Amino acid sequence: MVLEVWDLGKIRIFSLARHLGLRSEALLEALNELGIEGATPASAIDEETAKAVAQLLAEQAKQARESALASKQAADEAAVAEPGEEKAAEKAEAEEEEWEEEEEAREEMPAPAFYEAEDPLVALERHLAEMEAQAKEEPRDSVTPLPELVARPRGPRPPNAIEVPPVVTVLGHVDHGKTTLLDALRNTNIVEEEHGGITQHIGASEIEFEGKRIVFIDTPGHEAFTRMRARGAQVTDIVVLVVAADDGIMPQTVEAIGHAKAANVPIIVAINKIDLPGANPERVKQQLLEHDLVPEEWGGDVVVCEVSALKRQGLDDLLEMILLVSEVQQLWGEPDAEFAGIVIEARLEPSEGPIVTILVRRGTLSVGDTIIAGTAYGRIRRLRDWRGKSIKSIECGRPVEVVGLNAVPEAGEIVTACKSPKEARQLAEERLKMRHDAELSAGSGMRLQALYDELHGKERTELNIVLKGDAWGSVEAMASSLEAIGRQMEEIDINIVHRAVGEITESDVTLAVASKAIVLGYNTKATESARRMAEDEHVEIRMYNVIYEALQDIQDAMLGLLKPVYETRQIGTAEVLQVFPMGRLVAAGCRVTEGRLQRGARMVVTRNGQQVFEGTLETLRHFDRDVASIESPNECGVSTPEFRGWQRGDKIEAFIEVEVDRRERSTADNTSG
């Protein structure tokens, strides 16, 4: 259930109808009889009105049942009173058919059909009790739950609790307008700064609407950023699913729906680009039904807003619905609790060092606090809000940029406070040792795999990569995409010997020399000393700003490491018209009937469907001159020292070996699979 109630005192009409087993239209008709006009399935009614309409429908159902019972009794009595058993039977049968037709008509009427199963007041009371219990109970575990430390607090509020803004994640397919929509909401212009027009980081920002804050998390749409989208859905309270009105639901849209459902969070669908000529919002709504997302206006529980980010249409309605959904969730936090947060993104700036975007989930974070995230730790030197303004502290529920850690933590790491830098350093060293032990264990497994391949005669090629990027999310996405490419190729292994955030330095080149690796930089740059060293050591450094360009280039590099693959293809056929003895040779005068014949090709000669020769086409002549190839429908002379038994009517098939493009072959294999 995405959105059911405004609060415990009000119930949305479509939600009540669903729980009572009715269509929304039936409930709206009953409300009209009570004098409540102009309501829609998304409207809310209080408990007294709900009970009144339930009572009205119950009375209607009772009257319908009594009328039906009286009609049946009258029919039975008439059948008994009819003289003659045969006539009585005929009349009873006719009335039975009439009864069945009336019953079918009654079943199509919404109210009586339901209330034969259950009394509406009983169903309503049960529904209210379920909502009240649900408001008190702990949330159900999702497929990918957050650790309890950074999960939203539920249950009874402590006296010092404060309202916190909802965290809204914007998901959807690439180029459907997610960042443009956020630009319009935030009055910023991020999209022009994105390389290739796609968002390649996960950023957090805030806006204020009607005096209330909303925290937005923007996630990339490109398929390589699956894990980043999943993480965005984990920390969110509401998912805004952006679907282009002219394009409809696409693969990343389906994936985003899966993330939102796995995280068990409400979904608001923003149908964007309604200003375009090919926009068709109704088609998008129909597509939503295929993924169990029923719009409110069709009696479902999914809020759908039609917007144009470019023309700034429908934005206020979207924000109002976000605040409405967040009010239902009753979000709160404890500013005095022990601090806990989650890393949204992290990057390395040459002038300031590691910069970490943290979503504060509990407590308050202040300048001077000591924190730890994974194996990165430090005392906070500076805090900045999403616009870059320096602040002294920040309360729970808001994103903040932190400067002061000694290293770049991975996105998704849990951030906690420590009493002192010494305590943080000791804890980081313990975690680092555990990670090192895990890597050694994984490395042993790779060596065992290599031994297995050697024993079984498999020839494998290894592509070693040193991977550097501007942010952990980018590095993570690139690494997972490279590994996916490697899994598609049986003869090659991708081995990412090192991955980190920051510039490419001399130490990266040194590692590449030792491991015979290429250095891949993504949205970062190489120091001048690293470039000079790479030239001296003949180490290749490749730099990219757009992920799909990087993946295509690396795939091409991998294909270059593989041995060529050849396949036999037929290039033409010919028919023997005459046979000419020529000393030790016998030539066949032929007409090329299809394709071409080519000198050096493998030819197969058949007679009456039986193969009589297979060998190489040594000589090919056109009139009195030798030619390399000849195409249909020309005539030619064919001979080879290996075969002299030509006869009129023989068929010649010519074949050559051609190198196969592995990308085409991989695409064909994936399609057939």
pLDDT of the residue at 94:
55
Confidence of residue 440 (pLDDT cuts 50, 70, 90): low
Q: Which of 69-83, 90-104, 148-162 has the lowest mean pLDDT?
A: 90-104
pLDDT of the residue at 483:
77
Of 2.40.30.10, 2.60.120.10, 1.20.1250.20, 2.60.40.1170, the CATH number of 566-659 is: 2.40.30.10
Inter-residue contact 150 to 164 (CB < 8 Å): no
Top CATH class, 163-332: alpha beta
Note the maximum CA span of the chain: 116
- pLDDT tens by residue, 250-261: 887 887 787 777
Q: What six digits make up the tokens of 176?
A: 């459907």
Helices then strands, counting H and E runs in the chain, come out as: 17, 33
- Domain residue ranges of the chain, discontinuous segments joined by +: 10-134, 163-332, 340-428, 460-561, 566-659
Cis peptide before 581 (omega within 30 of 0): no
Confidence of residue 231 (pLDDT cuts 50, 70, 90): low
Of residues 484 and 392, which shows the higher confidence score? 392
Ordered strands of the 382-384 beta sheet: 376-379, 370-373, 414-418, 340-349, 353-362, 399-403, 382-384, 390-391
Confidence of residue 448 (pLDDT cuts 50, 70, 90): very low
DSSP conformation letters of 403-454: E--SS-PPTT-EEEEESSHHHHHHHHHHHHHHHHHHHHHHHHHHHHHHHHHH
Confidence of residue 129 (pLDDT cuts 50, 70, 90): low
SS3 of the chain: helix, strand, coil, percent, to 5: 40, 30, 30
As a whole number of angstroms, the distance between CA 285 and CA 281 comes to 6
Q: Which of 396-400, 603-607, 665-669 has the lowest mean pLDDT?
A: 665-669
pLDDT of the residue at 51:
77
- pLDDT tens by residue, 511-552: 888 778 889 888 888 888 888 888 888 888 888 887 777 777
Confidence of residue 90 (pLDDT cuts 50, 70, 90): low
Confidence of residue 667 (pLDDT cuts 50, 70, 90): very low
What mean pLDDT do residues 620-646 have? 90
Of residues 102 and 160, which shows the higher confidence score? 160
As a whole number of angstroms, the distance between CA 473 and CA 410 comes to 8
- pLDDT tens by residue, 369-391: 999 998 899 999 999 887 788 99
pLDDT of the residue at 270:
92
Q: Which residues pair with 151 in a beta bridge?
A: none
Question: Is the pLDDT assigned to residue 660 strictly greater than 90?
Answer: no
Confidence of residue 78 (pLDDT cuts 50, 70, 90): low
pLDDT of the residue at 223:
43
Q: What six digits make up the tokens of 490?
A: 């049986």
pLDDT of the residue at 404:
92
As a whole number of angstroms, the distance between CA 611 and CA 670 comes to 36
User: CA dist 463 to 67, 150, 492, 554, 555, Å?
Assistant: 81, 39, 7, 10, 11
- Total number of residues shown for the chain: 673
Q: Which of 354-368, 495-509, 544-558 has the lowest mean pLDDT?
A: 544-558
Question: Is the pLDDT assigned to residue 138 strictly greater than 60?
Answer: no
Checking DSSP bridges between strand 585-598 and strand 566-582, what pairing results, if any? antiparallel
Q: What six digits make up the tokens of 581?
A: 């003895």
As a whole number of angstroms, the distance between CA 567 and CA 657 comes to 6
Q: Which residues contact 185 (CB under 8 A, 6 or more apart)?
A: 207, 216, 315, 319
Asked if 163-332 and 460-561 have one fold, the answer is yes
pLDDT of the residue at 191:
44
Of residues 33 and 399, which shows the higher confidence score? 399
Mean pLDDT of all residues belonging to the chain: 76
What mean pLDDT do residues 484-493 have? 70
**In 229-352, beta strands by DSSP E:** 238-244, 267-272, 303-306, 332-333, 340-349
Q: In three state form, how does the secondary structure of 476-511 look?
A: HHHHHHHHHHHHCCCCEEEEEEEEEECCECHHHHHH
Residue 469 backbone dihedrals phi, psi, to 5 degrees:
-145, 175
pLDDT of the residue at 271:
92
- pLDDT tens by residue, 183-221: 888 775 444 444 443 333 446 788 888 888 898 886 654
Backbone conformation region of residue 298, classed left if phi is above 0, alpha if psi is from -120 to 50, else beta: alpha
In CATH, the number for domain 460-561 is 3.40.50.10050
At which residue do the structure tokens 């008509």 appear?
105
Confidence of residue 7 (pLDDT cuts 50, 70, 90): very low
At which residue do the structure tokens 């000849």 appear?
630
What mean pLDDT do residues 61-85 have? 64
Confidence of residue 113 (pLDDT cuts 50, 70, 90): very low
| CA dihedral for 365, 371, 372, 376, sign (positive or negative) | positive
Among 492, 550, 493, CA closest to 520:
550
Question: Is the pLDDT assigned to residue 466 strictly greater than 80?
Answer: yes
What mean pLDDT do residues 148-167 have? 79
pLDDT of the residue at 368:
93
Percent of the residues in the chain that have a pLDDT greater than 90, as a whole number: 17
Task: Report residue 8 CA to chain centroid gap.
Answer: 34
As a whole number of angstroms, the distance between CA 543 and CA 564 comes to 27
Q: Which of 109-123, 124-138, 428-442, 466-480 holds the top average pLDDT?
A: 466-480
Among 549, 506, 524, 507, CA closest to 470:
524
As a whole number of angstroms, the distance between CA 602 and CA 147 comes to 66
Ordered strands of the 303-306 beta sheet: 203-209, 212-218, 167-172, 238-244, 267-272, 303-306
Confidence of residue 489 (pLDDT cuts 50, 70, 90): low
pLDDT of the residue at 604:
94
pLDDT of the residue at 606:
94
**Helix 47-81 × helix 85-108 angle, to 10°:** 170
Q: What six digits make up the tokens of 401?
A: 């940029």
Question: Is the pLDDT assigned to residue 607 strictly greater than 90?
Answer: yes
In CATH, the number for domain 340-428 is 2.40.30.10
Q: Which residues pair with 346 in a beta bridge?
A: 356
What mean pLDDT do residues 56-60 have? 76
